[in-house]
């Protein structure tokens, strides 16, 4: 609460010329700075993942993924098949609290990663690539992916999907 009440017509007072100059300068600076920043961020930032999305029947996608897993299975990790497909199309399915299957890829090879959810909305984050997309049942995302380092890439669901959400962590294994 103010000590003194302002005069009744204080909103009707004219803006002083000095204030007008600073308002114009601040507005121009904000427009120029933000426009330049947005343009540079778009050109140099790596925040946007580029891919394609298609409508897909979740039951059909599940069958495609299971056939893919059976065809290229080389092992098992915690009850989930580990698959080692050749370069090209690879499938990954998000389902209640798990990623299926575990992918075993070769460094330097290019893969088309086809990923979809078959039950609930899930978040797809691939570290250390910092990919982050939202998966919805009925849509498939397709990304071109070339692993540049051998090691273990972590898949995390970053969209709350239920009581087992905290355990929804998957892997992509990359070997030389």
Do 134 and 150 fall into the same domain?
yes
Do 22 and 100 fall into the same domain?
no
Q: Is the pLDDT of residue 1 over 70?
A: no
Domains: count for the chain: 2
pLDDT single digits (tens) 27-68: 999 999 999 888 887 777 666 666 788 999 999 999 999 999
From residue 83, alpha-carbon distances to 55, 68, 72, 106 in Å are 25, 8, 5, 12
Q: Read off the DSSP letter of residue 167.
A: G
Q: Which domain, by its residues, includes 113? A: 52-174
pLDDT single digits (tens) 104-134: 999 999 999 999 999 999 998 887 777 788 8
- As given in the structure block, the two tokens for residue 29 are 């600076």
Do 78 and 158 fall into the same domain?
yes
- Residue 3 lies inside a defined structural domain of this protein: no
Do 31 and 78 fall into the same domain?
no
From residue 22, alpha-carbon distances to 16, 33, 43 in Å are 10, 16, 31
Q: 172: which residues sit within 8 A by CB, 6+ positions away? A: 102, 103, 104, 105, 126, 147, 152, 153, 155
pLDDT at 68: 96
From residue 146, alpha-carbon distances to 118, 154, 156 in Å are 25, 15, 19
Do 81 and 34 fall into the same domain?
no
Q: Read off the DSSP letter of residue 7.
A: P
pLDDT single digits (tens) 142-174: 988 888 899 999 999 988 888 888 889 999 999
- Residue 5 lies inside a defined structural domain of this protein: no
- As given in the structure block, the two tokens for residue 70 are 């059976």
The three state secondary structure string of 57-115 is CHHHHHHHHHHHHHHHEEEEECCEEEECCCCEEEEEEEECCEEECEEEEECCCCEEEEE
Whole-number Å distance between alpha carbons of 114 and 54: 10
Do 82 and 157 fall into the same domain?
yes
pLDDT single digits (tens) 82-102: 999 999 999 999 998 999 999
First to last CA, the chain: 69
Arithmetic mean of pLDDT over the chain = 89
Do 82 and 128 fall into the same domain?
yes
Place of tokens 């121009």: 28
């Amino acid at each position: 609460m103010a000590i003194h009440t302002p005069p009744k017509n204080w909103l009707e007072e004219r803006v002083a010329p000095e204030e007008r100059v600073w308002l114009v300068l601040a507005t121009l600076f904000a427009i120029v700075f933000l426009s330049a920043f947005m343009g540079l961020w778009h050109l140099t930032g790596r925040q946007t993942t580029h891919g394609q999305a298609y409508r897909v029947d979740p039951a059909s996608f599940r069958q495609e993924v299971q056939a893919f897993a059976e065809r290229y299975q080389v092992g098992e990790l915690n009850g989930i098949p580990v698959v080692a497909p050749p370069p090209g199309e690879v499938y990954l399915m998000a389902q209640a609290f798990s990623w299926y299957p575990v992918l075993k890829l070769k460094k330097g090879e290019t893969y088309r990663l086809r990923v979809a959810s078959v039950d609930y909305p899930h978040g797809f984050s691939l570290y250390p690539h910092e990919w982050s997309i939202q998966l919805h049942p009925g849509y498939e995302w397709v990304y071109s992916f070339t692993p540049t380092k051998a090691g273990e890439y972590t898949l995390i669901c970053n969209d709350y999907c239920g009581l087992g959400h905290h355990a929804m962590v998957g892997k992509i294994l990359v070997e030389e």
